[in-house]
Structure 1
């Protein structure tokens, strides 16, 4: 494909790789000096992707909303989510192999479509990560109370959530090696213990007569009220499965800390996605069929614990929930890790308020500690907002999903424009490449992502999310209008900033 970019535009993507050149040298071709700790190998890369998706967390967080909205057939909404996220995985793997930079949501569109486009895309992703980690902190607090049989008030649950967010922030602020080490342990526990318990419940259901719902129940659902058509209730129930697969591309955000990033990251994306889809579906299937007393779930704040208790007893249920808490914890840990790399990447190009402080990297620990702590403070403020309005938590999960799909939609539009103009870098030998399938995949994805975005904005169950998200986006517009636009026009921000202001980058 002929590349129609101007010389100035083409300078934003690196030249072809030189044989024997390492990843740090390639980073310099993008205009950055290697400052982060490139210590993430194949296993850690897979673990980051797997824990960010976190099938167990998805099931524990999305089961109640799905089952109470649409009954047992809600599990089939996962098969709406899988092809949607497969399309995004193909797209993300294709670009990650060519532009392996921290803060992918900003970097890809900024280098291929311009810094203004990159700003709004990166900002949407940043909102997604902050909303996601805030939701996870609150969910963790709720299940912790369940394990210890605490009757938590809203305020108590919020303060526990703040504490767990603070712990994850401090771990990430210390060093990426500690965060990935803990993450690897958590993923190991998730695969061995949580999946093992799911299989144990499945065996009990098969061995003990009349100990499970019939398979036909998976095709018999009802709306939560007579006014809502079932199709709308079923689609609304898909929020859990969709949220459960968000973050499949997260490992791209730690590209500058990944060894042999161009080859490793696309592969671990596909491995993490495939493993998560299989585990999540099996867990949904087993736990739905394992319901012995559907009425008990209607008033339960922890339906999975209730189901395990019905099958294996309350003591065993609490042990399982305690182990599952580690899965939620490492999911939160990974959210903090990848979210802060995006904030660091934006700040390195002087795109954020207080960029000078936010792009600071601790020289010994090689971690963007100021960005980590700042993201944690924002999450804590969001948690505290629920003390003023209980409705705040009704928006966090929906806003996270809406923000990510806005990111996917903007990325797809930008990449489609870049592909038509011949701006996508050529693939290096041995790396993942969509090749001729790129434009057809992008066109199909554009239609699919737009449909999901429309549903998240206009389905009755998500009423209000669009207004809240619109208000958040308005802040990005104001920052661009009154500050960022001038910075970009004068060369004081954007992908060339770090190269042209090396003294500023090292502060």
Structure 2
């Protein structure tokens, strides 16, 4: 896109270019894939699924992939029509109203702030202790997580180009590594006669009675809890949209990056899950391990390959956290650009030296460190609480976005670059059914702290929103040069 075309494109939404368009097709895909990060999600949650649902719980994965793929297609349609930084915040503000847009933007911001801590905490609490053979005390875990967050922040603040290079390299390594690990597991386990096909349909130590129950008002059935494996892992693909103003041809590239990342993650992730489960040995004994994936790899492929797996997981988790933080800083900057984020006059600046939202990045790192300290100090099960909130919040964001698309889809103009066409209705039906089912999972009492976190977020955000409306009036939330999407639609039709 030429500088003139870039300026004209953003002018339609009331903005001037602030970043250079350097993000390529692969870099956009890599951002979406790194956020999903199957190595991170599977390594982190496979043990929980063994305990809650047994090995047979992995069969929930394909269903979650189909559901999230439908969501990705719908969100891609919005990203193609409104290709500006701020993703869900921008879409909701322009399609519904600025108040709802601000609320969704605030929830998205806090989701990104908590999930980056959850992801980086995984490295310090479960991966590095095994890799480096040390005891993961709460103090050591806190210190290592804090250092990782700082390192990611320094990289993002210093250079978007180098941030993408590091992420591209990590994603390439994850793709190649996961393919090789899957093939090696299947081949070696078959040669050594270590495959147990019964594991694919085993409930492990989970009682058979009531297994297929939906549960009650406060408890989800064992098989339903298995969906948390996919629900936690296959999220964040929309992060590619938050670099729209830095991506070449974002109307075409960003939506494709989303669905391609979900599909690649879904297929590769399921093949890896099947391979690990076949080679799992005794699933009941494996469920007691804190690192079941690493245990299966070591038993089947040896300690050297197991160590390489842990190194791969460290790289994948670092890249995942890096992309989450990158997405969070861009959202902070986007909301500050519209003068509706605390400290916006400082956070809307782009560093002339680094060409990055430097101050927004610093604020984001500080907030992440505070969240880390609070959860570490006051939660006996900090990791699960963080994961619970990190799984619940995107489901809420996706549901709000899909509902908005349903309400406005007939008035949205086709842009010729990414449209669902005749597949729109069936794709929407799948997305709605999946999200309703997914949200039903969170009635389980184990997510009490996650709901409490969401409530606290809404209260804090509500206080600021109320102060904003009182001090600056309703017009403080109007979008630049566009009070609603109707103006944009009129322009598109003329």
Q: What TM-score, normalized by structure 1, do the two folds share?
A: 0.88
Do the aligned partners of residues 302 and 471 (structure 1) sit closer, same or farther apart at CA in structure 2, a change above 3 Å counting?
same
Number of the residue aligned with 1:11: none
Question: 1:264 aligned to 2:250?
Answer: no
Q: 1:138 aligns with which of 121, 133, 142?
A: 121
1:447: Cα distance to partner? 4.3
Q: Structure 2: give runs of 5+ residues left out of the alignment.
A: 214-220, 484-494
Partner of 1:451: 437
Aligned partner of 1:114 in structure 2 is 97
Name the residue aligned to 1:125. Answer: 108
> How many Å apart are 1:44 and its aligned residue?
0.7
Q: Does 1:220 align with 2:202?
A: yes
RMSD: 2.3
Q: CA 1:488–1:408 in structure 2 vs 1: closer, same or farther (change >3 Å)?
A: farther
Q: Shift of residue 296 of structure 1?
A: 4.3
SS at match of 1:91: helix
SS in structure 2 at match of 1:39: coil
Alignment of 1:461-476 (within 5 A): 461-476=446-461
Which of 196, 217, 220 is matched with 2:180 structurally?
Answer: 196
- Given candidates 22, 28, 33, the residue that maps to 1:50 is 33
Q: Which aligned pairs between 1:138-217 and structure 2 lie closer than 5 A?
A: 138-142=121-125, 143-209=127-193, 211-213=194-196, 215-217=197-199
| 1:482 matched to 2:467 | yes
State yes or no: 1:92 paired with 2:75.
yes
Post-superposition shift, 1:444?
5.1
Residue 113 of structure 2 contacts residue 368 of structure 2 at CA under 8 Å; is this kept in 1? yes
Gap change, CA 1:216 and 1:116, over 3 Å in 2? same
* Aligned counterparts of 1:448 and 1:202: Cα–Cα separation in 2: 31
User: How many correspondences in the alignment?
Assistant: 474
User: Is the contact between residue 82 and residue 277 of structure 1 (CA under 8 Å) also seen in structure 2?
Assistant: yes
Shift in Å, 1:138: 0.5
Deviation, 1:276, is: 0.6
Within 2, Cα distance between the matches of 1:450 and 1:108? 21
Q: Contact 1:74–1:237 (CA<8 Å) still a contact in 2?
A: yes
Deviations 1:237-272 (A, max 9, x none): 221221110012110111011011111111222221
- Counterpart CA distance in 1 for 2:456 and 2:439 is 17
Give yes or no for the alignment of 1:388 onto 2:378.
yes
CA distance in structure 2 between the aligned counterparts of 1:62 and 1:365, rounded to whole angstroms:
37
Distance 1:295 1:438 in 2: 43
Instruction: Sort the Cα spacing of 1:155 and 1:113 in 2 relative to 1 into closer, same or farther, 3 A.
Output: same
Give the deviation of 1:492 after TM superposition: 3.1
Q: Structure 1: which 5+ runs fail to align?
A: 1-16, 500-507
- Mapped to 2, the partners of 1:438 and 1:219 lie a distance apart of 35
**1:410–1:354 Cα change, 3 Å:** same
1:49-88 map, 5 Å: 49-88=32-71
Post-superposition CA distance 1:55-108 (Å, at most 9, x none): 111111111111121111111111221121112111111111111011111000
Match of 2:393 in 1: 403
In the alignment, which of 26, 39, 46 is matched to residue 22 of structure 2?
A: 39
